[in-house]
Structure 1
Amino acid sequence: MKVTTDMIDKQLRFRGKLFDSLMKSKNEQKWQKAMYKLKKRSDRSAGKNIEGLHCSEEWITRRDGSKLRIRIYKPLGDTNQVPGVLWIHGGGYAMGIPEMFGGAYKRLIHASPCVVVAPDYRLSIEAPYPAALDDCYDTLLWMKSHAKELGIREDQLMVGGESAGGGLTAALTLCARDQEEVSIAFQMPIYPMIDDRMDTESAKANHAPIWNSDYNLWAWKLYLGELYGGNVPPYAAAARETDYSSLPPTVTFVGDIEPFRDETVQYVENLRSAGVPVEFKMFQGCYHGFDIIHPKAQVSREAHSFYINAFKYAVKHYFAKQPTDGV
């Protein structure tokens, strides 16, 4: 899909070009090197707190016995029986740490008191699928087993994230549904990265700012490893799922000029066809991650209001259900 400058929202144009000038890579090897450099930069922010929130850190045990770092964000003061939100950061499965997405945590917590748990999951440059998903699922189980200490409802957990975090959100809800060990009340896979096949119109030859078809291809190759080009399971790329029944109510949005536009639209249609309640909006003139690149732009504020209002509705209508026995 060819993207021209006049297709981009005027407030988003400059920052899109600026970011591209910093990120531009013409081949896969250089792109991977850039991911390692970005990881080193982001690691310097590890442990950074967010003003106005109670911030803490835990190291939980993975299924293989190693340790996984998680960040915990709470409103100031005591919490009791509030929603627990597992928020999964974005970065093409290849970069990023929880501390980079503090804006989302503040918006959620200020909208309705909740506890946000953000795992520092293994990146694809360190370990391919299923490492990231395993880390997120282990975090979800940890949240359930430590609900009392966290001040959250173990039977009413929510999952969300942007981009690759959205892809992991969609995969995690599939995994939780199938494993039946923990219930997810609501999911927010924001402009999710869910289809490795890249055969939609928006995913082909898309050179919009921030995230284009080349970056997308290289990121999927890294994340899938030896699975790339073969029999990829839905837990790795949620768009490959054929059964969308019994998944939690969902909210998502996407820009109309980004590579993930069509796969997000199809995902929404699949959920709705399965009877899953979905709130969805497409924002005109928006490239991937626009609300993070320029959070003060008018369209970004509209996007934030959209998903935060959906979150508040979920707290009232889905989290408000009375606790049940068992899962």
Structure 2
Amino acid sequence: MSSGLLPELQFARFLKIGKLCIQAWMIHSVNLCGKIWFKLCSRPKDISCSTVKIKGYQDSNVEILIYSPKGLTDDAPCLVYYHGGAFFLGDFPMIHTLCFEYARAAKCRVAFVRYTLSITRPFPGPIEDCYSALEWISDHATELKIDPKRIAVGGDSAGGCISAVVSQMARDRHGPHICFQMLIYPVIDNTQSLPSAKNMTDAPITHPRLVRKMWQIYLRDMKNSSLPYSCALRTESFKDLPPAFIEVEDLDSLKDEGIFYSHCLSKAGVPVQLVQMKGTFHAFDIFVGKQVTKLAVKNRVKALKAAFRK
């Protein structure tokens, strides 16, 4: 495999994660382990971290971690980052490591949003939390030393979906200006109707059964899953959205969703850069030391830097 991920791919397939019967206690246990793991990890010395807590949907508590590399000006650009994890898993140290690198290399602040997980509160809770965080960051841009005209959103997997939907919400609600959206192997379609979502039953991590379970948990209080903002495809128009960078992985059942969304945006006149990685699978970048991960991060940072130029 040209990506150098053959051992990791074989391990992911051996686990057969997508064929597990997901139970609530398993999700809560994994999230508890993630919280402990994060607390045990040391922070890089060249990046400062501050934490704020705001009120989200129905008075939920939303934590935002602000990462700032040394040497930034008082009007630095900002990447508002929404983590993945099927909407029901929390954040793990590897994604923070990537965010540190985005902050360093793109010379920006990163606002990492810990939204309410769907295992606790389903749609629209998580997405409204994320929009509230974006509004708060924009409203407090001066205090946070952020340029309000250079705020981007980004995320991986479910976080990619959130980034795309938050961009639609900001447009429809005449909310904060978003200069760019960075969608990393995003989940886009809750109907799972595209070919890769139906046919790639050997995909590690994103087995169609697991993706279906993700949507069932996230949308469990909904009688009609076609409501606006339930996923990125449930919008009347793709026009007037921020320029986008979309990365899809070769061995990912979500691959066609990201490609299709890029076509939707492009057809509506939205500038899009689509990157199709070879030999990679969903969440491959948890292996942060791999050369293919470094290449992917380089591509993402290049797009961010271009978007942040005044």
Once the two structures are TM-superposed, the CA of residue 25 in structure 1 deviates from its matched residue by 6.0
Aligned partner of 1:239 in structure 2 is: 233
**Structure 1 segments unaligned to the other structure (5+ residues):** 1-7, 321-327
Paired position in structure 2 for 1:24: 17
Deviation at 1:85, TM superposition (A): 1.3
Report the equivalent of 1:152.
146
What TM-score do you get using the length of structure 2 for normalisation? 0.92
Relative to structure 1, the CA distance from residue 49 to residue 145 in structure 2 (aligned partners, 3 Å threshold; closer, same or farther) is: farther
Secondary structure of the corresponding residue to residue 50 of structure 2: strand
Question: 2:202: which partner in 1?
Answer: 207
Q: Deviations over 1:121-180 (max 9, x none)?
A: 111111111111111111111101111111101233110000000010001000000000
Please state whether the residue corresponding to 1:239 is helix, strand or coil: coil
2:4 to 7, 11, 19: 11
Residue 185 of structure 1 corresponds to 179
Give the counterpart letter for 2:156 in structure 1. Answer: E
> Which deviates further from its counterpart, 34-43 or 271-280?
34-43
SS of equivalent to 1:83 = strand
**What pairs with 1:81-100 in structure 2 (closer than 5 Å)?**
81-97=75-91, 99-100=93-94
| Residue pairs, 1:109-148, within 5 angstroms | 109-148=103-142
C-alpha separation between the residues in 1 aligned to 2:217 and 2:245? Answer: 28
> What count of residue pairs does the alignment treat as equivalent?
307
Which letter maps to 2:295? E
User: Is 1:217 the equivalent of 2:209?
Assistant: no
Query: Where in structure 2 are the equivalents of 1:32-111 lying within 5 Å?
Result: 32-46=24-38, 50-51=43-44, 52-77=46-71, 79-97=73-91, 99-111=93-105
Cα distance between partner residues in 2 of 1:65 and 1:201 = 40
Q: Are 1:315 and 2:308 counterparts?
A: yes
Q: CA deviation at 1:212?
A: 1.3
Identity of matched residues, %: 31
Structure 1 residues 265 and 183, CA, compared in 2 at 3 Å: closer, same or farther? same
Answering whether residue 260 of structure 2 is matched by residue 266 of structure 1, we say yes
- Paired residues for 1:254-293 under 5 Å: 254-292=248-286
Secondary structure of the residue aligned to 2:7 is helix
Q: In structure 2, what is the equivalent of residue 306 of structure 1?
A: 299
Q: 1:155 to 1:49 in 2, by over 3 A?
A: farther
- Counterpart-to-counterpart distance in 2, 1:240 and 1:62: 23
Deviations 1:35-77 (A, max 9, x none): 2221111121455552021012111122533422111100124
- Distance in 2 (alpha carbons) for counterparts of 1:201 and 1:298: 29
- 1:98-138 deviation per Cα after TM superposition (whole angstroms, max 9, x unaligned): 75412221222112321111111111111111111111111
For normalisation by structure 1, the TM-score amounts to 0.87
* Contact 2:196-2:254 at 8 Å conserved across structures: yes
